[in-house]
Amino acid sequence: MGLGGCIILIAVGAILTFATDWEVQGANLDVVGLILMAVGIIGVATFTSIARRRRVVVPPSTPVVEDPNRRTYE
């Protein structure tokens, strides 16, 4: 699940918790909304930590040596 899916879970959970007054037999929609928001927040945190690890730039291990025979013009 990507970042967009996590944000959709948070939005749907907020709508179920705060914007509806439906009553469903056998389910409390406020609790379902809170669970969806919690899963979405955990997903966002996981996604950002993984994305941060992928963006780490490692300097090259071999040194760059300039060629003395190469001419540069200014």
pLDDT of residue 67: 72
Q: pLDDT tens-digit profile of 43-71?
A: 999 998 888 777 666 666 776 667 777 77
Tens of pLDDT, residue by residue over 24-47, are 899 999 999 999 999 999 999 999
Measured CA to CA, the distance from residue 34 to residue 12 in angstroms comes to 10
CB-CB contact of 20 with 14 (8 Å): no
